[in-house]
């Protein structure tokens, strides 16, 4: 395999091709390569006689089937992934010696796995949860894994608490209920008795926990890492992924309905976007802090429950990742990929963040049982693009055939090879940090502020976002049965905001707090999704139409929508063709039975001269639901009558008119705006 990424950006894809098998047009064989003449009937003693153990093909086929599942991940079990490439915008050699962050002409292959955290593999995509955003860079210095989340902080400060928080948010152990939900007693009991969770809970209760798409959510490395340059100078760094489509979310009712209508909503969205050439793009940003400024922020930079406000430490955008190829086999790639925060390259190092330090053990440990032993690095999706040379041998699922008798270091029989590489030769060298202190099981006093950044987050939200957080608390705690737990949570979050806590306490039938509150007045505009990128690109528009629609006008509108990057899909009473005037026809993608408004970003109502009573009823329900989710709605010609009857005309985000040029411009702008929170609910 080639070592030089720059010579071939598709190096990893070619490597995987070596393990790819296309069965089309081939003859059936056993796993030993023997051609098989029968695969419908097992070998029997007579037509109605007993099956014979002699049937080796039956035994091999059934044995493989019985063992083809591996343990799912304890967390992040439900995931979906894609291949892509990363390209740097500017040379970062002033900060790091990592080669893939120095040459702007190199396209580094990547593999990205998105995931929910708490649910099992069979749970729905759109549950309220944090999302994993793990990226494997196949660099010429080895694999680098940036194991990120879509939330920049975490529940806990020390990894020894990780089993506890996971046990708490998983289904309760007595009845294994509820699945993929934190709306239960044990989770909120943990929260109230581990108040370092406050900041993360604010994010989980916000719209960030129900993203519109994997393509429209940010990614954060969570921890403070180190950059180290060629001169040995170190910098503290936090990693960010910024989606070029902006950061957008679902609404709570919408996410609930999607879980039943389309539990694979995020999977379908990512897969179809790539298949249609709408390649997801994320820019890589870094927050960099000089070592001498370690204690200049208001919080401890080693505390994983805290973020660095972007207004205080700006995010420097340094490159872009493009996801441009779907996987060929879900199990072999998405399910078997193994990430580890300890997979680093020269120039990227760790800090003493106690949560990070624990993850450096946990990730590799869990792969041993999940992937069947120490050789999971030999699975094709996990293999680096550079050769592997070491003295490790044997073990479960070993594939490499090592030549020679030497499997130890140091040695003379093989000229003391493989030999360690000096830093000048590319060898990894740990940053030489001076460490002093007594062995102690304790937590630094600088970690004890649990509420200031939770308040910062609340202060940064728009009125609509604050309402959603209140509703989320009300829903979650409304499912909690213990009055004691409810009261403890109210007492805890009174320290974050009395406005918030009084609002949700009333909704769950508990006495609103009168004491507490916060003196924190700062906000961080970067935390609000109202301050993101707004674009119509790749948004899905449901086009409701019937026979007899105005052919030329509607054709013009559809062409404008497509030109702006929107994806229209046609919905009618029956599948087949729908026919308009002047011979204009469209193929119907969905009926009202097979598609719902929650699967679309906007609705364009056309109708037609030949609508049935059933059509009008279904169309009205479709539009009502979209309107209640604050989505853009447009109508021309006969479609305007429907919006007039429902008294939607004139509402924010409702665009009507038969001047199709003006209508198209206004409707496209409305779709780009995503939601209209100031819309009156009728």
CB-count exposure of residue 509 (10 Å: 0-12, 13-18, 19+): exposed
Closest CA relative to residue 249, chosen from 461, 4, 495: 461
> Which residues partner with 440 through β-bridges?
none
Residue 19 has what pLDDT?
75
Residue 321 has what pLDDT?
98
Encode 307-362 in three state secondary structure: CCCCCCCCCEEEEEEEEEEECCCHHHHHHCCCCCCCCCCCCEECCCCHHHHHHHHH
pLDDT tens sequence across 290-301: 999 999 999 999
Cα(422)–Cα(33) distance, rounded to whole angstroms?
46
Per-residue exposure over 456-483, b if at least 16 CB sit within 10 Å of its own CB, e if not: bbbbbbeebbbebbbbbbbbbbebbeee
Q: Residue 160: pLDDT band by 50, 70, 90 thresholds?
A: very high
Question: Phi/psi of residue 79, each to 5°?
Answer: -135, 165
pTM of the full structure? 0.94
Closest CA relative to residue 131, chosen from 35, 225, 247: 247
Helix or strand (DSSP H, E) at 168: helix 162-169
pLDDT tens sequence across 357-414: 999 999 988 899 999 999 999 999 999 999 999 989 999 999 999 999 999 899 999 9
149 is a catalytic site residue: yes
Question: By the 8 A CB rule, do 90 and 64 touch?
Answer: no
76 is a catalytic site residue: yes
- Strand-by-strand arrangement of the 567-572 sheet: 590-591, 567-572, 540-545, 602-607, 633-635, 654-656
> Which residues partner with 442 through β-bridges?
none
CATH of domain 79-159+196-382: 2.40.180.10
**Cβ neighbours, 10 Å, residue 153:** 22
The fraction of the chain above a pLDDT of 90, given in percent, is 89
- Is the predicted pLDDT of residue 65 greater than 50, yes or no? yes
Task: Please state the separation of Cα 275 from the chain's center in Å.
Answer: 18
Residue 11 has what pLDDT?
67
Alpha carbon separation from 63 to 12, 350, 397 (Å, rounded): 32, 44, 17
Catalytic choice (57, 76, 223, 266) = 76
Radius of gyration of the chain (CA): 28
The listed CATH number (1.10.8.640, 3.40.50.880, 3.20.20.20, 3.90.1170.50) that belongs to domain 534-672: 3.40.50.880
Q: Residue 3: pLDDT band by 50, 70, 90 thresholds?
A: very low
- Is the predicted pLDDT of residue 1 greater than 60, yes or no? no
Residue 682 has what pLDDT?
43
Beta strand 316-326 pairing with 79-88: antiparallel
The listed CATH number (3.40.50.1000, 3.40.50.300, 1.20.1370.20, 3.40.50.620) that belongs to domain 451-530: 1.20.1370.20
Catalytic choice (11, 143, 149, 194) = 149
pLDDT tens sequence across 610-624: 999 999 999 999 999
CA geometry: angle at 410 spanning 401 and 392, to 5°? 30
Average pLDDT of the chain to the nearest whole number: 94
Q: Residue 22: pLDDT band by 50, 70, 90 thresholds?
A: confident
- Is the predicted pLDDT of residue 6 greater than 60, yes or no? no
Task: Please state the separation of Cα 166 from the chain's center in Å.
Answer: 18
Residue 645 has what pLDDT?
87
User: Residue 229 corresponds to which tokens in the numbers above?
Assistant: 């340059």
Each domain of the chain, given as residue ranges in start order, spans: 79-159+196-382, 451-530, 534-672
pLDDT tens sequence across 432-482: 998 888 888 999 999 999 999 999 999 999 999 999 999 999 999 999 999
Q: 């506890």: which residue's tokens?
A: 164
Question: By the 8 A CB rule, do 281 and 273 touch?
Answer: no
């Amino acid at each position: 395999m080639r070592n030089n990424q720059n010579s071939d950006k598709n190096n990893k894809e070619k490597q995987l091709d070596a393990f790819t098998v296309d069965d089309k047009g081939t003859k059936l064989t056993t796993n030993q390569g023997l051609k098989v003449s029968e695969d419908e009937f097992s070998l029997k003693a007579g037509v109605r006689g007993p099956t014979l153990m002699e049937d080796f093909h039956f035994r091999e086929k059934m044995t493989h089937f019985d063992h083809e599942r591996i343990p799912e991940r304890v967390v992040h079990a439900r995931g979906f992934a894609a291949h892509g490439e990363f390209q740097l915008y500017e040379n970062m050699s002033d900060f790091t010696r990592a080669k893939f962050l120095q040459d702007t002409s190199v396209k580094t292959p990547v593999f990205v796995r998105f995931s929910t955290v708490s649910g099992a593999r069979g749970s729905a995509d759109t549950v309220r949860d944090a999302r994993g955003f793990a990226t494997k860079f196949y660099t010429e210095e080895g694999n680098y894994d940036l194991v990120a989340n879509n939330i920049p902080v975490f529940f806990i400060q020390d990894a020894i608490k990780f089993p506890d928080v996971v046990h708490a948010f998983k289904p309760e152990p007595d009845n294994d209920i509820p699945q993929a939900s934190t709306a239960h007693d044990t989770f909120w009991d943990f929260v109230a008795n581990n108040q370092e969770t406050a900041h993360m809970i604010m994010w989980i209760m916000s719209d960030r926990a129900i993203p519109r798409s994997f393509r429209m959510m940010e990614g954060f490395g969570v921890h403070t890492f180190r950059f180290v340059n060629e001169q040995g100078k170190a910098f503290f760094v936090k990693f960010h992924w910024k989606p070029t489509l902006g950061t957008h979310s679902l609404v709570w009712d919408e996410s609930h309905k999607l879980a039943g209508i389309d539990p694979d909503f995020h999977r379908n969205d990512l897969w179809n976007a790539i298949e249609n050439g709408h390649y997801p793009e994320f820019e890589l940003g870094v927050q960099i802090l000089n070592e001498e400024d370690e204690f200049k922020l208001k919080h401890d930079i080693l505390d994983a429950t805290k973020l660095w406000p972007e207004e205080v430490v700006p995010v420097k955008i340094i490159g872009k990742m493009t996801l441009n190829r779907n996987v060929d086999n879900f199990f072999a790639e998405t399910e078997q990929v193994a990430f580890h925060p300890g997979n680093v390259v020269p120039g990227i190092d760790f800090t003493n963040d106690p949560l990070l330090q624990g993850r450096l053990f946990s990730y590799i440990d869990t792969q041993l049982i999940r992937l069947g032993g120490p050789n999971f690095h030999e699975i094709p999706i996990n293999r680096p693009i550079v050769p592997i040379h070491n003295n490790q041998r044997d073990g479960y699922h070993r594939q490499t055939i090592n030549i020679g008798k030497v499997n130890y270091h140091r040695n003379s029989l093989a000229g003391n090879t493989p030999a360690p590489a000096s830093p000048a030769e590319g060898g990894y060298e740990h940053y030489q940090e001076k460490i002093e202190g007594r062995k102690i099981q304790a937590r630094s006093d600088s970690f004890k502020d649990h509420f200031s950044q939770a308040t910062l987050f609340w202060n940064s939200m728009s009125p609509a976002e604050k309402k959603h957080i209140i509703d989320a608390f009300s829903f979650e705690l409304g499912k909690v049965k213990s009055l004691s737990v409810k009261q403890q949570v109210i007492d805890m979050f009174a320290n974050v905001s009395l406005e918030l806590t009084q609002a949700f306490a009333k909704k769950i039938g508990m006495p609103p707090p009168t004491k507490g509150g916060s003196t924190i007045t700062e906000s961080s505009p970067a935390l609000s999704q109202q301050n993101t990128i707004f674009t119509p690109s790749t948004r899905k528009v449901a086009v409701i139409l019937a026979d007899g629609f105005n052919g030329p006008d509607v054709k013009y509108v559809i062409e404008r929508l497509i030109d702006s990057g929107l994806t229209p899909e046609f919905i009618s009473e029956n599948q087949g063709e729908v026919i308009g005037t002047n011979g204009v026809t469209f193929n119907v993608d969905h009926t009202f039975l097979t598609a719902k408004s929650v699967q679309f970003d906007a609705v364009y109502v056309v109708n037609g001269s030949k609508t049935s009573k059933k059509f009008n009823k279904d169309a009205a329900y479709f539009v009502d639901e979209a309107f209640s989710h604050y989505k853009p709605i447009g109508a021309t010609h006969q479609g305007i009558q429907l919006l007039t009857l429902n008294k939607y005309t004139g509402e924010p985000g409702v665009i009507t008119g038969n001047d199709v040029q003006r209508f198209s411009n206004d409707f496209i702008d409305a779709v780009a705006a995503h939601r209209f929170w100031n819309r009156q609910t009728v």
